[in-house]
């Protein structure tokens, strides 16, 4: 799992720094945190946890089920760093530039992929062709900048994504699993619309491939289980590859986002 929502934080009083005896230095490199007195927050059971446990063998790894409490813990200095996808952490840092800082050196550079039911290799191949097409014609760059590099999106800036889909009511339906609490990948805006990079990608792909879209919303592990059982055709949710899942095929990278470290600005 790679994903979680970017949230607006309530005003709160900074807590104590826990049981540490000495103040930490201001970190400039993610590998500076590989020390026994550092605590590093990760999202449980996702790429950032597996990667962090391998790299930060001296630090204490602190898994969180959701991103919000991890950010709160970083704010109150109960953890020293938070490891996750750059495009998600960057939006938080942009909203709170005086509180957080992203360390420039990436920890990992694997792109996000799409999960496809193993019985649909032709669908995986069509996805890969579409990904190559939008990377070549500039659509990918436009989408990435609009969703992943604009922290001040306004409702009027978000297009009606349903208009990008297939208009043929006789076209077959593509069942796509999405996690709707993953800004900027998939989330409900103030108008109650399901929007985000993944949603626009899904509509554009469905139109190019001749499908109508039916979104199924749930958390990642439930969606992947439904994909393996044949209830879904695709899961688009900022995923990393899980080779051990033999009933799932994986697309080429549809979204480039390094795994990075965010620390509290001193």
pLDDT at 255: 96
Least confident of 15-29, 80-94, 206-220: 15-29
Q: Residue 199's pLDDT band (boundaries 50, 70, 90)?
A: very high
pLDDT at 46: 80
Does 3 have pLDDT greater than 50? no
Highest mean pLDDT: which range of 23-32, 92-101, 217-226: 217-226
Q: Judge whether 30-109+259-264 and 113-250 match in fold.
A: yes
Q: Could you tell me which of 34, 98, 45, 40 has the C-alpha nearest to residue 70?
A: 40
* Cβ count within 10 A of residue 207: 19
Q: Could you tell me which of 262, 258, 255, 10 has the C-alpha nearest to residue 127?
A: 255
pLDDT at 17: 39
**pLDDT per residue as tens digits for the range 67-122:** 889 999 999 999 999 999 999 999 889 888 899 999 999 998 889 999 999 999 99
pLDDT at 257: 87
Q: Cβ(237)–Cβ(185) under 8 Å?
A: yes
Tokens standing for 86?
Answer: 């750059």
> In this prediction, what percent of the chain has a pLDDT beyond 70?
89
Least confident of 16-25, 117-126, 135-144, 216-225: 16-25
Does 15 have pLDDT greater than 60? no
Q: What would the mean pLDDT of 10-22 be, rounded to a whole number? A: 39
Give the C-alpha separation, 257 to 254, whole Å. 10
Domain locations along the chain: 30-109+259-264, 113-250
Q: What would the mean pLDDT of 194-213 be, rounded to a whole number? A: 96
pLDDT at 24: 66
Q: Cβ(107)–Cβ(260) under 8 Å?
A: yes
Give the H or E element holding residue 199: helix 197-209
Give the C-alpha separation, 51 to 68, whole Å. 20
Query: Distance between terminal CA atoms of the chain?
Result: 30
Least confident of 14-18, 79-83, 105-109, 243-247: 14-18
Give the C-alpha separation, 135 to 120, whole Å. 23
Q: Residue 130's pLDDT band (boundaries 50, 70, 90)?
A: very high
The CATH class of 113-250 is alpha beta
The CATH class of 30-109+259-264 is alpha beta
pLDDT at 48: 83
How much is the mean pLDDT over the chain?
Answer: 88
pLDDT at 50: 87
Q: What would the mean pLDDT of 239-262 be, rounded to a whole number? A: 93
Q: What would the mean pLDDT of 162-168 be, rounded to a whole number? A: 89
Instruction: Tell me which of 113 and 15 has the higher pLDDT.
Output: 113
Instruction: Tell me which of 21 and 195 has the higher pLDDT.
Output: 195
Q: How many residues does the chain have?
A: 266
Q: Residue 155's pLDDT band (boundaries 50, 70, 90)?
A: low
């Amino acid at each position: 799992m790679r994903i979680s929502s970017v949230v607006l934080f309530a005003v709160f009083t900074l807590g104590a720094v826990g049981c540490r005896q000495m103040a930490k230095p201001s970190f400039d490199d993610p590998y500076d945190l590989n020390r026994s007195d550092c605590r590093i927050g990760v999202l449980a059971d996702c790429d950032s946890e597996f990667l962090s446990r391998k790299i930060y063998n001296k630090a204490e790894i602190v898994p969180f089920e959701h991103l919000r409490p991890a950010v709160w813990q970083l704010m109150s200095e109960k953890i020293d760093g938070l490891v996750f996808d750059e495009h998600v952490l960057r939006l938080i840092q942009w909203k709170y530039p005086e509180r957080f800082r992203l360390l420039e050196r990436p920890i990992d550079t694997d792109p996000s992929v799409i999960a496809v039911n193993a019985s649909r290799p032709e669908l995986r191949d069509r996805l890969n062709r579409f990904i190559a097409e939008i990377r070549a014609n500039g659509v990918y760059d436009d989408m990435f900048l609009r969703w992943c590099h604009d922290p001040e999106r306004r409702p009027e800036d978000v297009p009606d994504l349903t208009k990008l889909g297939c208009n043929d009511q006789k076209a077959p339906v593509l069942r796509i699993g999405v996690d709707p609490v993953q800004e900027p990948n998939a989330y409900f805006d103030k108008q109650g619309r399901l929007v985000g990079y993944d949603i626009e990608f899904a509509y554009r792909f469905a139109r190019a491939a001749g499908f109508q879209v039916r979104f199924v919303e749930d958390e990642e592990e439930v969606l992947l289980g439904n994909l393996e059982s044949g209830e879904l055709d695709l899961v688009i949710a900022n995923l990393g590859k899980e080779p051990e899942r033999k009933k799932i095929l994986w697309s080429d990278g549809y979204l480039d986002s390094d795994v990075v470290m965010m620390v509290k600005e001193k």
